[in-house]
């Protein structure tokens, strides 16, 4: 390991970046060094710009991937190498605005009917029933299930934040059924590897197989179930600030994205035109000429 890489890793650890973020940053910086066959400390802004254009035009990578590279080199040069470069010299690729796929409640039922494994059904029902990310669902411990208060404790979710999610009676029933069958000891969904929990990758694979068997036209992932959870709460009249807390969003505008997903919310929203009463309209009605 080069001294520069070790220094960057140390800087990331000091700032409490998640292990996944650290791996992602190191990956992008290593790819940059391989491309130029040169240590990043010897590159300039034009080199960084040309490499970003290469990722965009030649490799045709997704905007999120390219922006991951931008975040990595921004950290390297501003923090580790202490270069006095402003944020403006690290341009990000604009992401196209797309709406997430959302299942109807009937489609959710149809999807769950095609998951044969009790373990994976319990995991994916946690994603829909509590709005958990798949990484949060597989990392649940038995002690995280609070059946007295009907809460699920999500420990160190995205952004390394703890929060509470709802525990529905139906989900509790499924989790108890799973526990009676598997007798887990620490992790709620243990892996075949000793002392480890189930991996998100295996859940996503099972999710894809269930989607193919279900015959649904909409593509279903574990995150689709989380989107559907939020949208269905919104359609049932749940306050968007409550949904924000349940999803673990730091910003309300992230949660507000779901208002663009639900046509039902739009169609049931009362126009201010319809709130004008006849009396107010008659006040401003022009008087007939004598």
Residues designated catalytic: 133, 158, 223, 226, 249, 258
Residue 234 CA from chain centroid, whole number: 18
**Of 74, 11, 15, which is closest to residue 40 (Cα–Cα)?**
74
Which token pair is 249? Answer: 């969003």
| Residue 31, SS3 per DSSP | helix
Sole residue written with tokens 């859940």: 203
CA–CA separation, 62 and 242 (whole Å): 32
Phi then psi for residue 154, to 5 deg, are -100, 110
Question: Nearest Cα to 99, choosing from 256, 273, 240?
Answer: 256
Q: Beta-strand (E) ranges in the chain?
A: 145-146, 151-154, 163-166
């Amino acid at each position: 390991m080069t001294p520069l890489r070790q220094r960057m890793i140390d800087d990331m650890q000091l700032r409490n970046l998640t292990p996944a973020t650290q791996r992602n940053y190191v990956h992008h910086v290593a790819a940059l060094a391989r491309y130029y066959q040169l240590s990043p400390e010897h590159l300039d802004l034009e080199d960084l710009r040309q490499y970003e254009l290469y990722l965009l035009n030649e490799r045709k990578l997704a905007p999120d991937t390219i922006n991951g590279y931008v975040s990595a080199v921004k950290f390297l040069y501003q923090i580790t190498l202490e270069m006095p470069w402003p944020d403006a010299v690290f341009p990000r690729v604009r992401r196209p605005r797309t709406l997430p796929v959302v299942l109807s409640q009937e489609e959710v039922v149809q999807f769950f009917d095609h998951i044969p494994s009790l373990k994976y059904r319990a995991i994916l029902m946690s994603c829909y029933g509590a709005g958990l990310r798949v990484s949060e669902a597989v990392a649940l411990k038995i002690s995280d299930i609070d059946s007295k208060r009907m809460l699920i404790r999500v420990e160190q979710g995205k952004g390394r934040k703890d929060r509470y999610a709802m525990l529905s009676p139906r989900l509790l029933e499924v989790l108890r059924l799973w526990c009676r069958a598997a007798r887990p000891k620490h992790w709620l969904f243990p892996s075949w590897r000793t002392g480890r929990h189930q991996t998100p990758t295996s859940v996503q694979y099972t999710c894809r197989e269930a989607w193919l068997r279900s015959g649904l036209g909409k593509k279903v992932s574990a995150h689709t179930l989380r989107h559907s959870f939020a949208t269905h709460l919104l359609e049932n009249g749940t306050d968007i600030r409550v949904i924000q807390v349940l999803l673990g969003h730091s910003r309300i505008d992230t949660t507000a994205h779901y208002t663009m997903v639900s046509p039902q919310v739009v169609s049931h929203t009362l126009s201010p035109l319809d709130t004008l009463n006849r009396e107010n309209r008659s006040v401003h009605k022009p008087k007939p000429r004598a």
